[in-house]
Amino acid sequence: MINFTVKNCDSIQGGLCFQLIPKFDDSTQISLDKVDCSKSIACSENAFAIIEYVFSSDRNDKEFYHWSLNIHDRKSIKDIILRLKHLINMFNKANNIKFIYSREDLLNLDDERETLKNGIIKLAWSTDEMREELEKNITHDEYRIKIVSFIDKIIFFLEACLLNVKCTGIYVSGV
* pLDDT digit string, tens, across residues 115-158: 566 777 878 778 899 999 998 998 899 999 999 999 999 999 99
Burial of 109 (0-12, 13-18, 19+ CB in 10 A): middle
Pairing state between β 69-73 and 98-100: unpaired
More confident residue, 3 or 100: 3
Give the residue-averaged pLDDT of 44-56.
Answer: 90
> Per-residue pLDDT for 109 more than 90?
no
> Per-residue pLDDT for 61 more than 80?
no
